[in-house]
A and B are shown apart, each in its own frame.
Chain A
Amino acid sequence: MIDYAIDLCIIGLSVGMVYALVALGISLIFSGLDIVHFAHGEIYMIGAFIGLMLFQKLALPYVPTLLLAVILTGFVGVFIERVFYRRLTRAGGGYTVAGMGMVIVGFGMSIVLQNVAFLIWGPKPFPFPVPFGRPIELGNLALPMSYVWIVVTALTLMAALHLVLRKTMIGLAIRAVAHNKDIAYLSGVNVPLMISTIFGIACALGAAAGVLIAPINYVQVQMGVGILIKAFAAAVVGGFGSLPGAVLGGLLVGVVESLGAGFISGTYKDIYAFVLLIVVLMVKPSGILGVAAKVKA
C-alpha cells in the first residue's frame, strides 16, 4: 500500500515536472504580457512533433534532439507572437475587452495549429522510442530511466531559467518589462524585443515538455488539449504569474492526478486537475504562492 503510494507519487512528480514546464511558459507569458496564451498546448504538441522529426528523420541522439526542438519551437513562438498577437497586445493586454480578444484569438490559434499539425502528420499516434536503458532499482521500486530524464532535464531547465532571469541583463530587462512596460521603455529597454524573447522562452519551455513526455506517451495531434487545462491548473494553483508557484503547482497537479487515478478511479483521471483548480480558485484565487498585489516575475 505504502509502496504503491510512493510509486504513484514518484510518477506524479515526474509527470508534474512536465506540467510545471508548460505552466512556467504560461506563467511567464502572463507575467510579461498580461495575456493568457490559450494555444500553449499546441506549442507543446508542435515541439514534440519537431522533436520526433529530428529524432526519426535526422536520426539525432536524444539530447541534441531536445535542444534543437526547443530552439526551433522557440522561433515558431516568436513568429506567432510577431505576426498575430502583436496587433492585439499593442492595443493593451490585460483583463479588459482586449483581454477577451486575446482569449478568443488564442483559442482560434490553438485550433489552427492543431489542424495544421493534423494535415502534416495525420491523426495517428507516433511512438517516440528512446533507448534509455534499464530502470533504476530503488528497494522494491523500479524507476524507469525516462522518468529520471524528465526530472533531471526539467530541473536543469528551471535552474537555467532562474539564472537567466536573475543574473543576466536580458533577465533584468524581462523582469523590468513584466513589472512596467512604460518605465522599462523609458529606461532604454527594447520592450518589443523583450516581449518576443519572453514568448520565445515560454514556447521553448513548452517544447521541452513535449519532447520530454514523448518517450512515455505517444506523440499525437490531440496531446495539447489535455495538457493545456492541467498546465493552467498548475499555474493557477501555484499563483498565476509566479514562476516558483508554477513549478510547485505543476508538481501538485501531477501528484494529485496520479494519486487520484491510482486510488479513486482512472476513468476520470483528467478531471482531478480541474477539481484542484476549482478548489483553489474558490478558496484562494491568487494561488499558493501568489500575492494579492501585482508583483510579478
Chain B
Amino acid sequence: MTADSAPLPIAAGVRARLAQVHPIVPWLLVLLALLPLPLVLPNAYTQYVVNVMAINVILAVGLNIVKGFAGQVTVGHIALMAIGAYASAVLSTKLGLPFWAAMPAAMLVAAAAGAMVGIPSLRLEGAYLALATLGLAESVRIFISGTEWLGAAIGFEGIPPPYLGPWALDSHYAYYYVAMPLALLGLYFSFSILRSDIGRAFKSIREDALAAAASGVNVPKYKVIAFVISALYAGCAGSLQAHMAPGFLHPNNYTITEMITLLLMVVFGGIGHIWGGVIGAILVTIIDDLTRDYYEYRMMMFGAVIVLVVIFMPRGLGGIIDDFLVRRRFNVLRGARQTPRTDVHAA
C-alpha cells in the first residue's frame, strides 16, 4: 500500500536498466557514493553527527518493521537499544570480546529481550501493548540506573572501540566506515523482509489479524518474529552507540525523551514507509543537533510536531512522497494517452 513503492524517484530508463542487474548492485553503488563522505565534512563533530544519523537510521528502520509493517504499537523500543548497548559494553569490557563478536552477541541478547516483549503482544493489543512496552522501557532504565556493575547513575565508561587488525577505529571518521555500511545493510534487509513472505504476513497482520489468521497466517509466530527482527536492529544500533568514540553509556540516554525523538523520526517520516523513516531519521538528527542549545523548547517542539503530524498528516512525509509519485505517474500516463487534448488539462 505505502511502503513497497519504487525505491527512489529515478528516471524510468535508468530504472529499466537497473531491473536487469542484480538488486544488490544499486546498493553497492550507493555504498561507493557514500564512502568519500568524510572527505567533504568540515570537522570531526559533523562526522559524529553523521554517525549518529546512521545509528538512528538503523533504529528507525527497525522500529518501522514492528510498528509500520506488523502494526504493533510499541513505545519501548529505546529499551531494546539500551539492552543492546549495555550487553555489548559488558561483553567487551568484562569478557574482553572484540567489537566484531560483541555486536552480534548484543544483537542476540536484544533479540531475546525483543521476544520477551513480543510474547505479551500475543495477548495484548493496541493500547495495552503500548502500556506494557512503556513499562518495560522504564523498568529497564530504572534497573540500569540502580545497578552498580552497570555503572548505575554514573554511567558505564571505558568501552573499547572496534579494532580492525592493529588499527583502532576510535576516531569518528574511522567509525563512519563501521556505522554507514551497517545502516545500508539494515536498510537493504528491511526491503528484503518487506518483499518476502514474512513481510506479507506482517502486513496482513497489520491490516486485520483475524483475517490473516483465517487465511492461514500463523499470527503469534509472525508477531514474535516482527519483535525479534526489530530488536536485532535496535541491538545493532545500541552496540554501535556503545562503541562509538567516547565509549561511554549513561541510563539517561534511554529516557522517554529519546523515545519521543525516535517516535518522531518514524511518525514524521510516515509509519510503515521505509524511505520515509530514513528521511525522518536524518532530518530529526539534523534538527536535534541544530537545536541543541534550546533544550527545553526542542522537546516541546518535537512533541507538538508529533501531535500535529498525526492529526493533519497521518501518513507522514512518506505519504506525501507516495502521493507525488503516484500523481506524476498518473499525469505521465494521461499525457501519453491524451496527447491531442493537452490544452484542456495541461496542468
Chain A residues packing against B (C-beta within 8 Å) = 30, 35-36, 38, 84, 87-88, 94-97, 99-105, 107-112, 114-116, 118-119, 225-226, 228-229, 232-233, 236, 240, 267-268, 270-271, 273-275, 277-278, 281-282, 285
Contact = CB atoms under 8 A, between A and B. Distances in A.
Nearest to A282: B120
A108 B128 contact: no
A78 to B, nearest CB: 17
Nearest to B138: A229
Contact of A229 (B73, B135, B306): B135
B135 A109 contact: no
Contacts of A99: 73, 126-127
B123 A282 contact: yes
Contacts of A236: 128, 131
Contacts of A229: 131, 134-135, 138
B263 A119 contact: no
Contact of A107 (B71, B123, B260, B311): B260
B143 A84 contact: no
A105 B311 CA distance: 8
A94 B305 CA distance: 23
Interface string B303-314: 111110011001
Given A95-B126, A101-B310, A278 B303 contact: no
A119 B300 contact: yes
Nearest to A226: B138
A241 B272 CA distance: 30
A101 B314 contact: yes
B71 A100 contact: yes
19 contacts: A36-B130, A88-B310, A96-B126, A103-B73, A103-B75, A105-B306, A107-B260, A108-B310, A111-B299, A111-B303, A112-B307, A115-B303, A267-B146, A268-B146, A270-B142, A278-B135, A281-B120, A281-B128, A282-B123
Contacts of A110: 303
Contacts of B297: 115, 119
Nearest to A91: B314
Contacts of A226: 138
A118 B295 CA distance: 11
Contacts of A282: 120, 123
Contact of A232 (B71, B135, B142): B135
A104 B310 contact: yes
A104 B302 CA distance: 12
Q: Is the interface of B mostly helix, strand, loop or mixed?
A: helix
Given A84-B307, A100-B73, A119-B296, A285 B123 contact: yes
Given A99-B73, A101-B310, A233 B135 contact: yes
Interface string B59-98: 0000000010001010100000000000000000000000
B228 interface: no
Interface string B251-283: 000001101100100010001000000000000
Nearest to B302: A111
B124 interface: yes
A133 B223 CA distance: 56
Given A109-B303, A119-B296, A270-B142, A277 B131 contact: yes
Contact of B139 (A38, A228, A240, A271): A271
A33 to B, nearest CB: 11
Interface string B105-145: 00000000000000010011111101110111011001100
Given A99-B127, A104-B267, A232-B131, A271 B143 contact: yes
A265 to B, nearest CB: 8
Contacts of A100: 67, 71, 73, 126, 271
Contact of A274 (B73, B139, B259, B303): B139
Contacts of A84: 307, 311
Nearest to A34: B127
A285 B143 CA distance: 25
A105 B305 CA distance: 10
A267 B93 CA distance: 25
A228 B137 CA distance: 13
B241 to A, nearest CB: 22
A93 B300 CA distance: 25
A115 B125 contact: no
A264 B302 CA distance: 39
Contact of A94 (B126, B302, B306): B126
Contacts of A271: 139, 142-143
A281 B297 CA distance: 37
B125 to A, nearest CB: 5
Nearest to B298: A115
A189 B135 CA distance: 37
Given A99-B73, A225-B256, A229-B138, A36 B127 contact: yes
Contacts of A36: 126-127, 130-131
Complex A-B, nearest 3 residue pairs according to Cβ-Cβ distance, in ascending order? A108-B306, A95-B126, A111-B303
Given A84-B311, A110-B303, A229-B134, 7 more contacts: A107-B259, A107-B303, A112-B303, A232-B135, A268-B146, A273-B135, A275-B139
B132 A281 contact: yes
A223 B131 CA distance: 18
Nearest to A273: B135
A268 B73 CA distance: 26
A277 to B, nearest CB: 6
Q: Which of B73, B257, B305, B310 has the most CB of A within 10 A?
A: B310
B113 to A, nearest CB: 13
Contacts of A35: 127
Contacts of B143: 268, 271
A87 B125 CA distance: 22
Contacts of B314: 101
Given A104-B263, A267-B146, A109 B127 contact: no
